[in-house]
Every structure is written in C-alpha cells, then in structure tokens.
Chains A and B, each alone.
Chain A
Amino acid sequence: MARVKLYEVDAKHLLFPNQLVFSATTKTSSGELTKFFGKQPLVVKVDQGIKKRGKQGLVGVNLQPVEVIARIREWSDRGFSHFIVEPMLAHNPSDEHYLSLERVRGGWKILFSEKGGIDVESNWDQVTDHLPPIIHNSLPIIQQALDKYHISFLELNPVLIDKKGFLTPLDAAALIDDAALGLAELAAVSLTPVADRVMTQAEQEIVKLDDSTPASLKFRLINPAGKIWMFLSGGGASLVLADEVADLGLGSELANYGEYSGAPTDDDVYSYSKIILKEVLKSQTDKKALVIAGGVANFTDVGKTFKGLIRAMDEVKEKLAKSGVKVFVRRGGPNEKRGLAMMEHFLQESHLYGSVHGHETPLTNVVKEVKEYLT
C-alpha cells in the first residue's frame, strides 16, 4: 500500500545486471569474497536503506577481503545486518554525477546534476531537469526495467556516465511499490523490502496480526512513557486526531500512533487492543488517557469492533483503573448506538469512564476533553 525501500543489492541486480555486487551478512567469509571478486580492492557498505552512509562511517573503501570482513564485524556490533560488497572503481571525483527518476502522474520526473556525490544537497541549486543528451541512450532501458519491477523511485548518487551514456552507479537507492509485490511478475524475483526501522516487540506482534487479516491494523510506539494512548480507526481520522494532540500542544505526551480499519472482526480488534493495553500498563505516569476514536465509519461495524475492545479491556480493567486510566470515546457509523451504549455501560461499571460520544459530537472534541483531564 505504499512505496518501500529496496536493498541496494537487489536494486543493482535488477537494474544494472552487468555490475558485480555481493550481498554480505555477518556470516560471510573472506574466502567467499576472494572467490567472487579475485584480488581487486573492494568497497563495503551497510545496505539497510540508510541515507548519508558516508557521513555516518558506514562505508569502507579500498579494502582487501579480510579488511571487509573486519569492517562488517564492527558494524554488526552496532546492530547492522545487511551489507553490500562491490569492486572499487577508480575514478575522478569530478566524474561523480547525480541522477534520479520518480514515477509521477503522466510519466517520470527526472533530475540530474553534474556535481553528484556526498555534497549534492549543499549543491542542490545545480540539480535540474535539464539532462545531458547522451543520457537518453540509457534512460529507455532503465525506465523499462523500472516498469517491469514496479520501482517507483530510483536515485543514483554518485553515478559515472561514460562517453556512450552508459551508467555505472556507485550508490543506488530505490523505492518499490509494495502493492505490486504479490503480482505474478514480481513473485519470480522474490524481493523483501528493507525494514523501515528496528521495531519494538509490540510493533512486531501487530505487524504479524496485520498480515493475518484482510483488515488493516497499524501501531507505532512514539513515547512509551506518554500519557495519551490512541486506539483510532480509519487512515484519515487517525491522522486528524493525532494532529489535534500535537496542535493542542500535547505532542510530548503522545504515546503512540495507530489505526484499525477495513472492517476488522471483533477477534482482530481484541488481539490488537490486548497488545497495546500491555504497553499502556507499562507506562508509569500517574494519569493516562485512552482515546478510542474515529470518524463516521462507512462500513466498519462499531458494535462489533467495540465488542473486541471491551473484551480486551475487561481482562485488565482493575489494573487500568488503578493506574489512573480514563477512556475517552468518539465514534460513528453502522451500529453506532448499540456500540456506544455497550461501551458506556462497561466504562461506567469499571470506573474507567472519561466520555462517550457519537457522530453528533465533532471528531476532535474528544482531544480537548483529554487535555482537560490531564492538565
């Protein structure tokens, strides 16, 4: 459902099949590298979609295989796991150019600069859509490959361009359309996108849950010691509600962002809530607000989803009450009245009641109530 990062190794394999690249892990031996590359000097880089690797010391140049392995060990101690090894290409720094292609409505947005390399951003005024004519010898082939593999964005920086317009990227970054990963034409190359960041236990559990259902379940921890915990529904409404927390000056108290949508079952919502409630109870602040909110649903059943939420809260209701939790609710949609009545009854009974509103109350009012409760 979005553009996700590819490993540089995969991007180069797919788009520049003539270039020698080796995908290394912590288990790679110097013998393997010697067998693959011979004795030529090598370059090794961390390959996990990280920008400005050079400036973070995540690039090693002009190394022998044993030195490459030493560098990999060093990086793996810092928590990195994916590496790319390539032959060192001797070149003049002035030959380092910049080229990027982005898929846009109606074609491609292509940017180029004579001055590529690590300082391209400080020379951004020299990046233009005016391309040297020679480059058109290479572009059609690249664009064809980008289409074939549903790659939406490619940045080559630096890239060497020979007299015939042939491209040799030193560094490559690519974004693939993950909606296409399941298509037959991509199943054959079996690509795994780069994990966006290191996920917490709870985040990993929710990714697993999300994969097991056609509904959408998302969770991201922002501040585990935060006072405001969000159980939101809908991609848009969740964004608006999280915005409102920040806009009312409560950004530093926002514990998480997340949303459930696409008509999840009550079991889905139960499992989802259970994982988050565990995190809520870990937070040591004296007062906490749970925000169960969303827009006016088109087809997600409010009664059903609330049933799942209540089941999960019911299991820990004493603990929640003891840790100063109040629950603030605003939701509309199919079976709204039944769902809200059920929720109100449960919250009153378990001393967790903050407020309960239906579609007649403006979406973001609930955030104001949270502010009043917390301050």
Chain B
Amino acid sequence: MINIQTIREKDNQILVIGNHEPLIQSILDFDYLSGQKEASVIGIVTGRRGFAKYFWGRGEVLIPTFVSTSKTTTLPAHPNSNLWLLNLTSGRRTLSSTLEFLSLQNSKFIPHNTIIAGASLFAENVPELHSLNIIENNQLAKLIVGPASVGLLVPGFLKLGPIGGITPDQITESHITEKGGVAVMSASGGMTNELINIAISSGHRLSFALSFGGDRFPVLSPRDAFLLAEQDPMTKTVLYYGELGGEDEYELLKLKEENLFTKTVVAHVAGTVASLFPESPQFGHAKAKADTARVTATAKRAALKSAGFQVSNSFSEFIELVNKLK
C-alpha cells in the first residue's frame, strides 16, 4: 500500500465517478489554496463525453468528462503520479465501478509509471459482501477508504472527498491546507470534521485525516490506518473516534501488544447512551449496534485504556485531552 509520505512527494490526480459539483469544486479550491499548479481532478465519469467547467482561483478550467471508466482513453494522467478514484456512485454500483477503476492499472490509457494509488468510496448502503469482495480483491494493495467515507485528506497535497468541508470559507477557516503532526481518523463522516475542528482550534495542524465510514467492513480498517500513521514521519499523534459495535478496536489493542504502534493516541468511543435502552438500538451507522457486552462502548473504552491509549469518559473530556496535547 502507498504510504502517506509518497502522497506528499508525487503529483496526485483524481478520477471522479459520479457528479457532485460543489464537492468537485471544493477539491479544486483546496488545490488552488494549497498553491498547487494544476487541478488534481483530471476527469469525471458523468455518462457523457465532453468537458465540465470549474473555477480555478479567479479563472476557470475545463475538466474532461467521460461516458464510463473503461472509456477514459484520453484521461490526461501525468507520468510518475498517483492516480486516485473518488467514487460517488450509489451503494449498489460501488463494487463494480471500484473494481473497474482498479483494473485500469494495466490499461494503455495510463502512463506506465503512474500508479493507481487508491480510492475513496462515498456511498452508504454498500452490501457487506460487496465490501468484503473489494477487500479480497485489493489485498491491501491500494489505500481505499470507505464505503460511506467522506474521504482522505493530506494537507497541502490531496483532498479526496468532502472531508474538511465543501465551501471556500470552510477550507480557509479550517486551515486544512496547512501541514502539521496530528492524524485524525474516524468512523463517522461528521465526526471526522469535528475532530479536525478540535485539533485546529487547539492550535494543531494535521498530518493527514481520513474517515473509515460507519459500515461493518471498512476496506481500510482502523488497524491498517494506525500502521499508516506509525510509518508516517510527519505524524506525532493520532486522534481516533470509534463507536459501539464491531471488533475493530480490539485489533488496535493487538497492534499495541505486538509493539507495532508506538505513537500517542487520544481516543473516544461513542455509544454509552445505548444503556438507556432495554436492548441496544441500531444507531445511525450500519455497525453501530452492540449485540454483545464485548462490543459496547464501555467495554471498548476500557480495553483501549488498558492498552495505554488516552481514552475519554465523555466527549468533553476528549476535547480537554486534545487541548492538553503538546
């Protein structure tokens, strides 16, 4: 899998499947405000061949649009760059469109030294088996966040999704073009932004940020993401947001036990409110339901604490812990 440092060292180019104008514009705004020479979005699969007009600073750019991923014959990919997919298709089509993109690696449309680096899968309601199919096909070769992810952000270099906000105000006020040492990881899209907000307002800047998505089987697991943070020379601290349900936090525990992760972590696991109900309800995200005591928020908080992570007992305390970080 690509490491975060390589994202900083090479050109990043994005193919978008699906159309969401404000979102695509926000990526271009991010590129422009980061001082990049060109827009990272180099093609949009809209179902129609032609061009789409976007703002580039005070000027405009034309981005080629394509009928389908397999017909991106004139995709202007640079040699020696990272090629990313921003997949905005529906939950039902996420699997087929993602596999189609991954298979571009061997196509003649792409300069031979340009690598397919990864993808962000935006859709909710991707069937579990489809996610597992992507995981199996990928075998950790590419950095794929989602499904139900708001994306991946490397300040100054890559904004792959709505992560960090979509209006120019949000991008400047949230300082997401400035580089720092805090990595943000979250199961929830909204909370990814909230954690970014907390880090920034306590005076920190980000090394990278990503959202796993709230599904049962995120392609990039929290364990994989922690390893990315460990290997990243810029990252000093990880802010982690998880929820009740699923076993992912226990995998983090193992990392620590195996001494594969050594950096500072401040973590919050939400979902203690479930105890007000006779039986754990299904909360907003697909994974957010505790069928056994082991996967309640309380149990997972205790487990992470025992591994030596800083774990908050309430979200207010999480904010305090972040404020205390050096």
Contacts and interface: CB of A to CB of B under 8 A. Distances in A.
A179 B127 contact: yes
Q: Which of A336, A363, A364 has the most CB of B within 10 A?
A: A363
Contacts of B197: 295-296, 332, 359
20 contacts: A1-B125, A1-B285, A3-B286, A150-B127, A179-B91, A236-B187, A236-B284, A236-B285, A237-B188, A237-B191, A244-B316, A246-B273, A247-B313, A296-B165, A296-B194, A297-B190, A297-B193, A299-B165, A332-B193, A364-B315
B273 A239 contact: yes
A259 B284 contact: yes
Contacts of B64: none
Interface of B: 22-23, 91-92, 124-129, 132, 135, 150, 162-167, 169-170, 173-174, 186-194, 196-198, 201, 214, 216-217, 221, 241, 243, 247, 268, 270-273, 275-277, 281-289, 297, 313-316, 319
Interface string A336-347: 110000000000
Given A2-B287, A243-B273, 7 more contacts: A183-B92, A235-B288, A236-B194, A236-B214, A238-B284, A295-B191, A298-B192
A71 interface: no
Interface of A: 1-3, 103-105, 147, 150, 152, 177, 179-180, 182-183, 196, 216, 218, 220, 222, 233-240, 242-248, 251, 254, 257, 259, 261-262, 294-299, 332-337, 359-360, 362-365, 368
B243 A236 contact: yes
A239 B288 contact: yes
B281 A299 contact: no
B128 A243 contact: no
A296 B192 CA distance: 9
A236 B189 contact: yes
B129 A150 contact: yes
B189 A234 contact: yes
A245 B170 contact: no
A360 B127 contact: no
A152 B163 CA distance: 30
Contacts of A233: 190
A299 B192 CA distance: 13
A295 B165 CA distance: 12
Nearest to B281: A220
B150 A246 contact: no
A147 B136 CA distance: 15
Given A222-B277, A243-B271, A364-B319, A179 B286 contact: yes
Contacts of B91: 179
A147 B129 contact: yes
Contacts of A294: 190
Nearest to A239: B270
Contacts of B272: 243, 246-247
A251 B319 contact: no
A375 to B, nearest CB: 17
A298 B128 contact: no
A261 B126 contact: no
Contacts of A2: 282, 286-287, 289
Nearest to A153: B291
A257 B273 contact: yes
Contacts of A235: 188-190, 214, 283-285, 288
Contacts of A196: 281-282
Contacts of A216: 124, 284
Contacts of B193: 295-298, 332-333
B188 A236 contact: yes
A257 B169 CA distance: 31
A363 B197 CA distance: 10
Nearest to A102: B291
A368 B323 CA distance: 19
Contacts of A3: 216, 286, 289
A293 B158 CA distance: 30
A236 B191 contact: yes
Contact of B314 (A104, A152, A237, A364): A364
Contacts of B23: 299
Contacts of A333: 165, 170, 193
